[in-house]
Each structure stands twice: as structure tokens, then as C-alpha cells.
A and B are shown apart, each in its own frame.
Chain A
Amino acid sequence: MKKTGERVLLSGPVLQLTIERLCLQLLESHNDFEDTVLIGLQPRGKFLADKVHGFLSDLLPNANIKCGTLDISFYRDDFRRREDPIEVSETRLDFEIENKRVVLIDDVLYTGRSVRSAMDALMDYGRPKEVEFLVLIDRRFSRQLPIQADYIGRTVDSVASERVDVILEGEGQVLLNTMEDE
């Protein structure tokens, strides 16, 4: 696949504002985060989860908000059905999720299949009281499963030949790239 065009969905400052807004929305419904844990989905949700965790920890310096990562490789529904081999990443959950309010965090919600796998993986670590889903970019109208996010940074209309690139390093930005077969 070759990139033939790009459009900026979120420029650096807007991206920062969007993440901050998502954090404040989390704060509204989770108060002091006593019973809440944040879990970033590997591989890319981890970076957003770290950002959210960092921002919330600055807002609530005494809260000790827990943040982990969850790898969904072994729960994917396309094992042996995809061209490229699955690359396994680390799962790091240094806390119990039993009876906790879990916020799953990922950068892009597209078909919904990753979140489905993530919920399966999550349940093997315990039975959370509640699971919510926070996503930076929601590519609506492309869902293959009945899944919706609870916290959405930006909703975009896109087609399959387009790709969303979330860059969180430095000032960061979010691009919508047009791709074509070579």
C-alpha cells in the first residue's frame, strides 16, 4: 500500500486539547479513581493510556491512579486468517481488576474487533464491575460488531482505503491518509 494523500484530522494543539477533554470527562464520572483502573490496548493504545494517565496524575497528585497494558494477540479472531503474522506485545497488569471499573483505552476504533478481543482477554484476569472504552478517533460507519465507545476524541467518516495515523510523540498530530495499492 502506498500513501497518495493526507489530511490533518487533529493538529498538535487540538490533539492536546482533545486528550485533556477526554481526561476531564473521565474525571466527571470517576471522581478520585479509587475504584478505577486504566488499561491501554497493545500495541498503540498504550501510548494514549500513558498520556491520559500522566495528565490525570497531574490533576490528582494524591490519587495513585493505576494504569496497565493489555495485549490481545492470543484472543484475536483473525489468527491463521491474516497475511502477516501477529506480533505479540507485553501485558502488564500489576493490579487486580476484580470488581474494579476498567477504562480500556485505544487510539482508533474501527471494526470493533480489537475491543471484542480485549474484553475476552480482560475477563481472563478477573470480573470487573464495569468496562468502559475511551478512544481518540472513532471511524464511524465501519463497525463490524455492535460496539460503541463511551469517550470519543473525534468522530470521522472514512472509507476502507483510508488509514488513520495517530502520532503522539512530541507535539503530535492525527492524520487521515489515503492509501492505494501499488
Chain B
Amino acid sequence: MSSDLSVNHLTGIKDLPERDIQLIFETADHFKEVINRPIKKVPSLRDITVANLFFENSTRTKLSFELAEKRLSADVVNFSASGSSVSKGESLTDTVNNILAMKIDMVVMRHPSPGAAVFLSQRVNSRIINAGDGAHEHPTQALLDTYSIREKFGDVAGKKIAIVGDILHSRVALSDILCLQKCGARVKVCGPQTLIPKFVTSLGVEVETDFNKALAWCDVVNMLRIQHERQDIKYFPSLREYTMQYGLTKERLNNIAKPLVVMHPGPINRGVELASDVADSENAVILNQVENGVAVRMAALYLLAQKIAR
């Protein structure tokens, strides 16, 4: 197996071949060992500077990337759109080129516009990692979700995963579907018809509107948050009704004969899509996902940095 990525940027799962995904997972295994030892740091990226550009709010992704960068000994600069020149009318390319003029080797970017990462990768001379572009892709989240399933079951191929909730506004859903399918898993999406994109079946996923049926079918259920901030109109009558139909409760879990693995990309709205006792139960691997996030991001950063010529 090659130990070099075939891509120069991590803009999305769509353009990432399966062997690259497996290489990231294998490398993440080694970094997981690193982050569990007394000194959780390796010197690999000590001559690399990474800029974290967050044009949209983020807590855990930003923290996770920053930790991953620091545990690889990279130098890190952070940028948030609020209080920056973006509000003064500067274009994205100009903003980033100004930052790159300060000798930055890699850019981790979250942006509200779909395709922002690809756009940037074609225009600036730096390695780009997409940390979420609008409702399009969030590749590292999909990688860490798939990695967590691989860790739980040993293999992803043949596993059945239900993604439940706001599929329409979710970048995690799209990246998850692509990544899981590339690794051989079967994916169903579930939620109110209004929150399921019309053409999602063209990706080869099945649509299920009955949550109980989806639960009975799957091995893993990935609960997504309702993205209020992206919803300009009402997609369901009330949050209470949504919770009654699509909220995962202990009672629902107990009605399924097999033990399900419960995932959530965070932040959780407790009592809405996920009941508190489920989120804290043994079925949930939510905190494992967070831990794996650092290892997977270290792997992505390390493998991309390897391709930067000196």
C-alpha cells in the first residue's frame, strides 16, 4: 500500500479515493497511540505553519484542528471572521493571499459558501483542508465518523448506518454518505420529508421517514442536529413534534432487539434529537468521536504536509 496521498488538498470526500481514506485511517491509528501517551506530541511538522481560517463559528472543530496541529509541533495562527477585514469588503482570495504572504504552509478553512475550499485550492499556493463549506462538505468529520465505526466494529464494509435528522442543511450528512459508501457501508437517511434533499437517492442511499423502521434496520445511528441557523423557513410544525417523531429516547432504543451504536457530530441539543440518558449511555460513542477527531486530523495534516516540497 502506498504511504502517500493521491490528493494535494483535502477539500471533500467526493474527490478522495478509497485508498487515501484507508491510508488516513492507518496513519490515524499511529497518532491515536501518540495522543494516549504521557508526552502527546511528535516533532514531525515543526517547520510547518498552519493557519486556521474560520469564517464561520466553530468550537470543537477549531479546537480539534488546533490540538492536532500542536501535537504535530506545527506553528499555528488563528483567524476568525468576526472583527476582521472580511467585514470591510475584502475578497476571500485577497484575505488568504495576505495571510499566505506571511509564509503559511497549510490552511484549514471553514467558510459559509459551498465550494470555498476548492475555490481557494485553485488560487493559492498552499495546502487546503476543508473544515466545512456551507451545507456542502465536512471531510474530516466524515473521516472521524467512519474511523469511529471502523474502531467499534473492526471494519466498515457491510455495516448499516442510518443518518437521522436535518439532512438538507447538513454538510456532515453528505460527507458521511460519501465516505461510508466508499468504505463499503450501506447508508439510509431518515427524517421529515421536508429535511431530506430531493436528489439524495441519486447518491445511492435509501430514504426512510419512519424512524423506528430505520432503527430496526441499522447497526449505527448517526443523529444530526437541527440546523436552526440555516433554516430560513419552517420545515416542521414544532420542535416538540419533531422530537416525538425523530428524537432518540431510551425507550426507542430498548424496543430494538440489538445493541445500536449511537453517534452524534455535536453539538447535541439534549432533549431534542437525543435524550440525555441516551447521550450518556454505553451505546453512545460521541466522546470517542471527539478523541478520534484529533487523531484523524493529525493524520490528514501529516500526510498532506509530507507533500509540501522544501
Contacts and interface: CB of A to CB of B under 8 A. Distances in A.
Interface of B: 2-4, 26-27, 30, 33-34, 37-39, 41-44, 47, 72, 302, 305-306, 308-310
A124 B30 contact: no
Contacts, number: 48
Interface string A58-98: 00000000000001011100011100011110110000000
Nearest to B43: A75
B37 A124 contact: yes
Contacts of B3: 85-88
B171 to A, nearest CB: 30
Contacts of A88: 3, 26-27, 30
Contacts of A124: 37-39, 41-42
Interface of A: 71, 73-75, 79-81, 85-88, 90-91, 120, 123-126
B309 A74 contact: no
A79 B306 contact: yes
A38 B3 CA distance: 28
Contact of A80 (B27, B38, B72, B310): B310
B309 A80 contact: yes
Contacts of B26: 88
Given A75-B42, A126-B38, A91 B310 contact: no
A120 B43 contact: yes
A90 B42 CA distance: 15
Best-surrounded residue of A74, A91, A123, A125 (most CB of chain B within 10 A) = A74
Given A75-B42, A81-B310, 20 more contacts: A74-B30, A74-B42, A74-B43, A74-B302, A80-B305, A85-B3, A85-B306, A86-B3, A88-B3, A88-B26, A88-B30, A90-B30, A91-B33, A120-B43, A123-B39, A124-B38, A124-B39, A124-B41, A124-B42, A125-B38
